Structure 1
Amino acid sequence: MASELTYRGGAAPGSASDGGEYSPKPSKPLSWLTRAARYAAAEHRPVFALAGMLLAAALFSLYAPSASSSDASSGRAVSAAAATFSHLSSLPSSASSLHGSAGGKVPLGLRRRALRVLVTGGAGFVGSHLVDRLVERGDSVIVVDNFFTGRKDNVAHHLANPRFEVIRHDVVEPILLEVDQIYHLACPASPVHYKIGARFLLTSTSEVYGDPLQHPQVETYWGNVNPIGVRSCYDEGKRTAETLTMDYHRGANLEVRIARIFNTYGPRMCIDDGRVVSNFVAQALRKEPLTVYGDGKQTRSFQYVSDLVEGLMSLMEGEHIGPFNLGNPGEFTMLELAKVVQDTIDPNARIEFRPNTADDPHKRKPDITRAKELLGWEPKVPLREGLPLMVTDFRKRIFGDQEA
């Protein structure tokens, strides 16, 4: 303290300048101001503050010059604000890096959350087309397939996609996967081949109606199935699957969906699976007779695979359990189908009649009223438009690079 007083008072006591006597400190400048005001005035602080304000005013005048009218000034101010917001929106952020580039236009909360989806049998005919759509909309997809009837070629075009994974596995054995949705398509669907918190969709079949006594078939019809016939392993297997699915829904509160699929055709079908459309197409391409069983007056309804995929996705995303018929109500006899194949591939293709198979349903046609009303779904591709697309695929696979 003494040293401070000595410094502020000038020379030390006893020095030659003051004769050794005490001299009082001179009065402080601006003593009439408060202590805070004197501190602010010290070291030319007001000068620096004033200079700062002048610099800010100059910058503002440079980037926002005054206009001759208030409207023009307001317009430029709005434009400047919009430009600033656009610039800030384009800057990267942790949220945009996690959810994709929002571009400052779409609130992140409105974006659809990508799902982790399991497709059993995803390398098969229908499954691979479903995988295409799920990957296209941005979901992460896991395919589980034992490749009994499925083919790796059907999903090979997704192998480089980090959101796609394929596991060779038979679904009769347990597998633990954490997913949001399960499309269960794993089942040989041809007579030749015969605690998860996810939403489970069972692909059942029109075969649950057997040889129906009601035409067309509605979902409330219980069917007319021979439980010990040559087709019963498939028919009754699907009926049992529906029973188990509903038991798990009622007893374990599992979210389930049930689709009853009617005859479906399109690219990637197995060429020699014994189904009528693939049989006719392969036979016509190979210059073989088209084999019609019985009198050829049996009827079926044929839907293109892309229509079925849209129906399955509508069912999965909706709030209704089902069962729902998914099929094309357009009804064709086997002879009419053979004529469409002839018109598409070879008008000279010969038809050969053979004895009918046991338990072959005489009529099969879906009533899709429920699907139209509750799912907002109905097929769009007629047979004469979809069949040529299937023929192109079969021609490449049968003949390769050779001219058909």
Structure 2
Amino acid sequence: MTTEPALYPSERLTQVTEAVRVKGIDVLLLSPGPDLRYVTGYDAKQLERLTCLAVPAQGDPFLLVPQLELRAAQASPAGDLELDMVTWGETENPFGIIKKAMGDPHYVALSDRMWALHVLQFAAIFPTASQHLASAVLSPLRIRKSAAEVAALKEAGDAIDRVHAGVPNWLRAGLTERQVGAKIAEAILAEGHVQVDFVIVGSGPNAASPHHEVSDRVIEHGDVVVVDIGGTMPSGYCSDCTRTYAVGTPPDDFTKYFDVLYTAQEAATVGVRPGVTAESVDRTARRIIDDAGYGEWFIHRTGHGIGLESHEDPYIVEGNTTPLQPGMAFSIEPGIYPGPHGARIEDIVVCTETGYQRMNNAPRELVIV
């Protein structure tokens, strides 16, 4: 196994079964993805061959796996659970096996990211069942991280901080965004991630496009460069951190709003504590940026949850009245994007019993290279 057992405790399956009952769901069906990994620790391959964890409200859960994937399933943390593994061969119908075991349920919850290929076949074998999202059952559990999960997020945060520490070595006038991005991607893996999830190197006007990624634009002297990077660790938990750089002396108008952004990001972070709402954190950052006259250029939410997915609950946005609770992990990443350039500062933060803990501690100030 590649992860600490505490990340995927055996009692989690019991907790999920109880949540299925409380929600009035007849059966929860999880295909490969973050939900299946959360419940069992099994990072199954997403294939046309069906792998599916069935958690009925009544009866014992079981994991349906293709015969050729059985050894992988047994070698995963799922192999340490008291969980029946049912295999199927190449000429068998896996949906028929689940149909036989489940009968005719009225309410079925399916993985949010289940392929339509499988969703439609479940609809066919359960024609009278209403389908629901698995997140209705799992999000209330996944939204609060355990101590082991927080430790995994801190490990991820430290790793991506080390990558940002190297960015000034690779960010140079005359190189393209793509060339710099390739160096960063190599470093993400070298610093312990098993997967590069995204690399954004937005220079000059591209810094005003929050999800720009990379292009063949040549970085010029005087450019502002937004670098937003993240990956997945062996634990399954994700990193995500944004810093803003300048190649040489930045424009005067940029410096003015970057100082506002820095203040807004810091204020939103220190305002995190149990009981405050997700939207109130967004309002804190937005109010500072609005009052300084840059509100029209803050064009996205302040943050998103993070864990086994880069984006998950809770979302730090107006309208989300969810009170923050200890263990909730999310980004705080206000940005200002007026057009000729732009800026964003992002840290992952965990709500604690008394306030907050940053998962990222690389310098937040503008780095001039």
TM-score (norm: length of structure 2) = 0.27
Q: What's the TM-score once normalised by structure 1's chain length?
A: 0.25
| Bigger-Rg structure (1/2) | 1
Greater percentage in strand:
2
Query: Which gives a bigger RCO, structure 1 or 2 (Cα 8 Å, sep 6+)?
Result: 2
